[in-house]
Amino acid sequence: MRAMILAAGYGTRLWPLTEDRTKPAIPFMGRPLAGYVAEYLGQYGFRDVVVNLHHRPDSVRAALGDGSRFHVRLEYIEEPVI
């Protein structure tokens, strides 16, 4: 099964934490926020997860990597406009 993590937003309500990274990449208790979602999806049988990106996409890629530490395979799609 495939799932999608929506990670393209600007995260304006968490400013200034989102000044240099996007909300899904913000660390919480040693892991990026989106990492908790990815791990949860993996626990429920999702192996292939698509992550959509727009604002500061490299921060999410750097935080999540290929997804192996969350037991999923991540694919990234950049949205040109949100």
pLDDT along the chain (82 residues), means of 10: 93 88 94 97 97 96 97 97 88
pTM as predicted = 0.89
Residue 11 has what pLDDT?
Answer: 86
HEC profile of 13-80: HHCCCCCCCCHHHCEECCEEHHHHHHHHHHHCCCCEEEEEECCCHHHHHHHHCCCHHHCCEEEEEECC
